[in-house]
Chain A
Amino acid sequence: MEDITLKAQGIKTSFQTSEGKVVAVNDVDITIREGKILGVVGESGCGKTVTALSIMRLVPEPNGKIEEGRIEFMGKNLLELSSEEMRKLRGAEISMIFQEPMTALNPVFSIGYQMKEMLKLHRGMTDEQATERAIELIDMVGIPRAEKVIKEYPHQLSGGMRQRVMIAMALSCDPKFMIADEPTTALDVTIQAQVLELMKDLNEKMGTAIMFITHDLGVIAEMADDVVVMYAGKVVEESNAISLFHEPKHPYTMGLLRSRPDMLEEGEELQSIKGMVPSLLRMPEGCPFNPRCEHRMDICVKEMPQLIEVKPGHKTRCWLYDDKGGK
């Protein structure tokens, strides 16, 4: 058995809205192996980001609440830590980078100032040490003329450079684990490729485990060692990347793979999954995917399937693979 960096079990996070309580993440298990990249895929609104925020304990209060679960990290259950202990962990041991690099930096301070702040806070460095380290980090994420860049302000950098700065900040204290929430969605394709390459590179060099959230299966294929597919707040399939791409089990995963243009032969028509993600307020009975599923059976509309292991290391939540489903 390999070493596990973070193991989340049965996370259930809900939000209080004007229309009632909504369970955005329901009974989600996430396991991240040391130094590996876990990809989390799913359509918009399926609970990827909320899962990440739950791990960071940054679910917006007072409306959001982590109701159940256990998140084991460095021998501690994160959900039992005091907010002060948790705060010390953030940035130092677990860090996170966000989707939108344009607004994730404070516009009134120079890049260097914002990077040094982290190093002083978590590492207790002096100003000179922090400056030196900041230059080193900016250099590491592949931004040329690092000594100049630390004196510049966010508006002087391009989106790709800002995202690199964010990555540098997230890595500045050598965290064991980093969450990347669609870090390349806001960037154009060429920059996207560079940033992905950089992250993969840093993951190998520094051994930081990464939870990589995206809706782009191509990115997952490129980056991830393991994959979790989420649908409507549930994990529907979990496997290593190779197995997932070669033998997808869940009809939703198959649908996602089929709706990718680069998997097509010439002349073949591009398919899509019919319908939409159901509203969290009006979840269908049984399997949440049943209204869109082409293999729907009677049991699918009555009972929620369990996550079962169909093959070593490959789990899926579908009646097709359950004896009870009467295959």
Chain B
Amino acid sequence: MKKNEVEGLSPWKIAKRRFVKNKLAVLGLILLGVITLGAVFGPMLTPYEAHEQQMMMRNQGPQGDNLLGFDSTGRDILTRVLHGGRVSLAVGIVATSVATIIGVVLGSIAGFYGGIRDGVIMRLVDIVMSFPFFIIAAVASAAFGPTVFNTMLIIGLINWTLIARVVRAEILSLKEQEFVEASRALGLDNLEIIRIHLIPNVMAPIIVYSTLTIASAILIEAGLSFIGLGVSPPTPTWGNMLEAARSLTTIQNYWWQWIPPGLMIFFTVLSINFVGDGLRDALDPKLKE
């Protein structure tokens, strides 16, 4: 490459450049990277199993090999925090994928076709948005069982409405652009226009909202598990580790049982939110550097 050549800057390259300039977002990304790596590879590094009990060590504090001590049944907290990270992140990502797919498909159908399809889909959005979430979650987990998979599904099925609305609104204005008319004149059918031309134009808000949905899904999973409706013990998640440590004695005497999972939730959600905000600024076409 010659130096003075003007290089074609794709929208992605421009966004990347803007993102890197945002210090908080980069910090969030690094933190999130560390947490993810810890969740993925961490459990392989600790010598204990998540369910392995050492009865002699119940409620023992941090010492030697056990950096974060033991819980009330003698399980290694560090190991469980790392395993819990896998579950929490997986729930966040899978639930968000479910929500994003539903939201994008329904939102683009509603926005593009309008008329009765729009009416039906948007009323469905209104209905889902007025569900009392925890009651639905309680019913669902009672009916289908409090497994990881069901938790992912429930969170995903409730959280697609925001993305659907955003996608619909964007497509409503995009479909009036002349390039849509031009693609039609060039022989593309409706589905191709939506798939090839419209959705890539809506990618920026989709990415931003999905990122923020991951954060809220992790929080919801923790909340559900804390009240016993999410992933059921003994599978470790940050939420049910907090649940196990919620007695007053534990909170007063055994800080190592509840501070680590609490901090993990806090840092994960915070870093995802930083990344989400950074992405929003980086992908906003109206902002010129």
The reply to whether B8 and A152 form a contact with Cβ atoms under 8 Å apart is yes
Q: Which residues between 24 and 75 of chain A lie within 8 Å of chain B, taking CB atoms?
A: 56, 58, 62
Q: Does A307 contact B (CB under 8 A)?
A: no
Q: Does A81 contact B (CB under 8 A)?
A: no
- Whole-angstrom distance between the alpha carbons of A290 and B179 in the complex? 39
List chain A residues, Cβ under 8 A from B201: 106-108
A-B contact pairs, 5 of them (CB 8 A): A88-B187, A90-B185, A91-B186, A104-B179, A105-B182
Measured CB to CB, the nearest residue on chain A to B7 is: A151
- Whole-angstrom distance between the alpha carbons of A58 and B187 in the complex? 11
Q: Does A166 contact B (CB under 8 A)?
A: yes
The reply to whether B187 and A106 form a contact with Cβ atoms under 8 Å apart is no
- Whole-angstrom distance between the alpha carbons of A27 and B15 in the complex? 52
The reply to whether B177 and A103 form a contact with Cβ atoms under 8 Å apart is yes
Q: Which residues between 183 and 226 of chain B lie within 8 Å of chain A, taking CB atoms?
A: 183-189, 192, 196-197, 200-201, 203
* Residue from the list B179, B183, B196 in contact with A103, Cβ < 8 A: B179
Q: Does A118 contact B (CB under 8 A)?
A: yes
- Whole-angstrom distance between the alpha carbons of A103 and B173 in the complex? 13
Measured CB to CB, the nearest residue on chain B to A105 is: B179
Assuming the contacts A103-B177, A108-B201, A117-B196, asked whether A98 and B186 have C-beta atoms less than 8 A apart, the reply is: no
* Residue from the list A98, A109, A121, A156 in contact with B188, Cβ < 8 A: A121
List chain A residues, Cβ under 8 A from B186: 90-91, 95, 118, 169-170
Q: Does B9 contact A (CB under 8 A)?
A: yes
List chain B residues, Cβ under 8 A from A97: 182
Q: Does B10 contact A (CB under 8 A)?
A: yes
- Whole-angstrom distance between the alpha carbons of A102 and B192 in the complex? 22
Which size class do B's interface residues fall under?
20 to 34
List chain B residues, Cβ under 8 A from A118: 186-187
- Whole-angstrom distance between the alpha carbons of A55 and B118 in the complex? 29
Question: Contact residues of B with A, CB < 8 Å?
Answer: 8-11, 115, 177-179, 181-189, 192, 196-197, 200-201, 203
Assuming the contacts A87-B187, A121-B187, A169-B186, asked whether A151 and B8 have C-beta atoms less than 8 A apart, the reply is: yes
* Residue from the list B8, B183, B187 in contact with A122, Cβ < 8 A: B187
Q: Which residues between 94 and 153 of chain A lie within 8 Å of chain B, taking CB atoms?
A: 95-98, 100, 103-110, 117-118, 121-122, 148, 151-153
The reply to whether B197 and A153 form a contact with Cβ atoms under 8 Å apart is no
- Whole-angstrom distance between the alpha carbons of A239 and B24 in the complex? 69
- Whole-angstrom distance between the alpha carbons of A56 and B186 in the complex? 10
Q: Does A92 contact B (CB under 8 A)?
A: yes
Q: Does A320 contact B (CB under 8 A)?
A: no
The reply to whether A98 and B178 form a contact with Cβ atoms under 8 Å apart is yes
List chain B residues, Cβ under 8 A from A108: 11, 200-201, 203
* Residue from the list A95, A109, A110, A117 in contact with B185, Cβ < 8 A: A95
Q: Does A196 contact B (CB under 8 A)?
A: no
The reply to whether A110 and B8 form a contact with Cβ atoms under 8 Å apart is yes
The reply to whether B185 and A91 form a contact with Cβ atoms under 8 Å apart is yes
